[in-house]
Amino acid sequence: MGIRGRIALAISCMTALAVVLLGFAVHHIADAERERSARVYQDYRLSAALQIYERDGTLAMGAQLDDATLPSPLRAAAFEGKSGTYVSGGEDPRVWAATGVGGSEERPGRSLSVSAAFPDDDPAQLALDRALLVAGVGTVTVMAVVSWFVAQRLSRRLRLSAAAARRIAAGAAPDADALASRGRDEVAELGRSVHHMAMSLAAQAQAEREFTADVAHELRTPVAGLVAAAELLPQPRAVEMVQDRAQAMRRLVEDLLEVSRLDAGVERADLDACELPSLVRGIVKRAVRQRGVSEVSVSVSVEGEPRIVETDRRRVERVLVNLLANAAKHGEPPIEVVVAGSRIVVRDHGPGYPAELCAEGPRRFRTAAPERGTGHGLGLTIAAGQAEVLGARLDFGTAAQGGAEAVLELPDRTVGGDVDVVGAG
């Protein structure tokens, strides 16, 4: 249940409790007043009947002498020359008034009494109870509706702030109108705080992207010159060492440039039809000729019928090559590539991905774990970014037999009909 329902339910319950307590109080007050009025009226009848009896010696106003059904408390009071009222229960509830007449100290007197029916289901009392019930239900209903709309307005402001925060977390530019809440209450203060935090985080993220792009562009030219100059060195061993480091620096610069483009959101997939198993086999053949992958064994297997999909071959290759390079560098052979429908699974037999990477995804310039080797941590970051451009899903986990397992789930853009497919191998 959301905050709207909780607020509305809480207000409705409090209103219902107040209505019930008020209804019981009004019912008991009205019942007590009804009994008091009945006693007063019977006492008035008794006074009138007593006057007539003492004057004329006749019984009037429905009065009776020595009524056998007179309740014992009133009979005892009348014999003592006292008067009083009494409400009896049972099958025939009545209200009584009685007093003693014609008595002396040597001879007890007689009792003069009047009575009237006093039913429990009094029509006036029942009408009052029905009115209280209708008014209570109406009050609770109205308060529930009003509280729902009040909570809806409060919840809407919170949901707008939360949605804007999610968009910023996904990389979108902050919307000042969506985040800047107006007002002086706590919700408005929360919205303004989220707004300031989002603007600050967006500014920091933009500064990071610009810094990464600027550094990569600034390093590209001197690194290219360093690679060219290394080829002119006379000593073969020195040439090999310098070229190796220069190539590593160039790959780092290229990775930084690619990360900056992915962060900027300017990359777009160029889709065309291809048979996925053939595409994967061609990528693996080219990958095993690269340094770092050629030393390990990579096998490709296909589960089910080969599928023709519509995707960006170059980006699929970029993702798959980075996964293979990571498996070759940090895992243990053999490396298995399994194609099942539109899914590509890359697994090795090493220590596996750490729990943090599986839960939160790869982070740049953070290696997975010491037992999986060293590196700058951009390979898996680029793979995840390219998968997002493809509209695919890239998950990292642990294989059933142990080892790291990466699953690339391509969008199900299955191509139907006659398609002229060019082999990727």
Q: Are 194 and 179 in contact (CB under 8 A)?
A: yes
Q: pLDDT (tens digit, 9 = 90+) per residue, 289-345?
A: 775 676 678 889 999 888 888 999 988 998 998 898 888 888 888 889 999 988 999
The rounded distance, in Å, linking the Cα atoms of 261 and 212 is 10
pLDDT given at position 420: 41
CA angle 396, 266, 222 (to 5 degrees): 90
Please tell me whether residue 23 adopts helix, strand or coil conformation. Answer: helix
pLDDT given at position 421: 39
**Most confident residue range from 46-55, 227-236, 375-384:** 46-55
Q: Does domain 272-409 have CATH number 3.90.1640.10?
A: no
Task: Check pLDDT > 70 for residue 346.
Answer: yes
Query: pLDDT higher for 215 or 395?
Result: 395
Query: pLDDT higher for 87 or 200?
Result: 87
Band of residue 422 on the pLDDT scale cut at 50, 70, 90: very low
Q: What residue type is assigned to position 223 of the chain?
A: V
Band of residue 182 on the pLDDT scale cut at 50, 70, 90: low
Taking alpha carbons only, the member of 156, 48, 138, 33 closest to residue 99 is 48
pLDDT given at position 345: 93
Every domain of the chain and the residues it spans: 3-126, 196-264, 272-409
The rounded distance, in Å, linking the Cα atoms of 331 and 150 is 57
How much is the average pLDDT of 177-184? 57
Residue 223 tokens read as 């690194």
Band of residue 424 on the pLDDT scale cut at 50, 70, 90: very low
Residue partners of 52: CB distance under 8 A and separation at least 6 = 58, 59, 60, 61
Question: Taking all residues of the chain, what is their mean pLDDT, rounded to a whole number?
Answer: 79
Query: pLDDT higher for 15 or 190?
Result: 15
How much is the average pLDDT of 404-412? 89
Q: State the CB neighbour count (10 A cutoff) for residue 348.
A: 27
How much is the average pLDDT of 397-413? 86
Q: State the CB neighbour count (10 A cutoff) for residue 307.
A: 19
Q: Which three-class secondary structure string do you get for 253-313?
A: HHHHHHHHHHHHCCCCCCCEEEEHHHHHHHHHHHHCCCCCCCCCCEEEEEECCCCEEEECH
Long-range contacts of 217-226 (CB under 8 A, 24+ apart): 217/257, 219/249, 219/253, 219/256, 220/253, 220/257, 223/249, 223/250, 223/253, 224/250
Q: Are 283 and 318 in contact (CB under 8 A)?
A: no
Q: Are 403 and 364 in contact (CB under 8 A)?
A: no
Do the two domains 196-264 and 272-409 of this chain adopt the same fold? Answer: no
Q: Which of 90-94, 189-193, 374-378, 410-414 has the lowest mean pLDDT?
A: 374-378
Q: Is the dihedral of CA 100, 102, 104, 110 positive or negative?
A: negative
Query: pLDDT higher for 30 or 155?
Result: 30
Query: pLDDT higher for 394 or 217?
Result: 394
Q: pLDDT (tens digit, 9 = 90+) per residue, 266-291?
A: 778 888 898 999 999 999 888 877 75
CATH code linked to domain 196-264: 1.10.287.130
How much is the average pLDDT of 364-371? 54
pLDDT given at position 103: 58
